[in-house]
Amino acid sequence: MEPIIVPIEDVLDLHTFSPKEIPDLLDDYFAACIESDIFSVRVIHGKGKGILKKRVHGLLKKNPLVQSFKNAPPEVGGWGATLVELKQAPE
């Protein structure tokens, strides 16, 4: 199976990934964002029953690269997306 190449930008849509891929994906994606000087990322997890959102929020709480996170405003996904602020390395 070929690896999926994900362009590094300020939006990560989780709809195409299986739940077991999410923890490593978030770690790798956030590290790549920081390397690309992207420190604000919108993670789209969808609305559904909120199961994936809860899982994503649990992972974000434990992730050392995450400064903070909050629900996205309605115009960019509402409760179907989360805005994540990543830590910047001290200069």
With CA atoms as reference, report the closest residue to 42 among 69, 17, 62, 63: 69
Mind listing the pLDDT tens digit for each residue in 21-57?
999 999 999 999 999 999 999 999 998 888 899 999 9
Give the model's confidence band at 10: pLDDT under 50 very low, under 70 low, under 90 confident, else very high.
very high
- What domains appear along the chain, each with residue ranges and CATH number? 11-86 (3.30.1370.110)
Strand 40-44 versus strand 11-13 pairing type: parallel
Give the three-state DSSP class for 15: helix
- Stated as kind and residue range, the H or E segment containing 68 is strand 66-71
- Asked if residues 44 and 84 have their Cβ atoms less than 8 Å apart, the reply is no
Average pLDDT over residues 1-23: 86
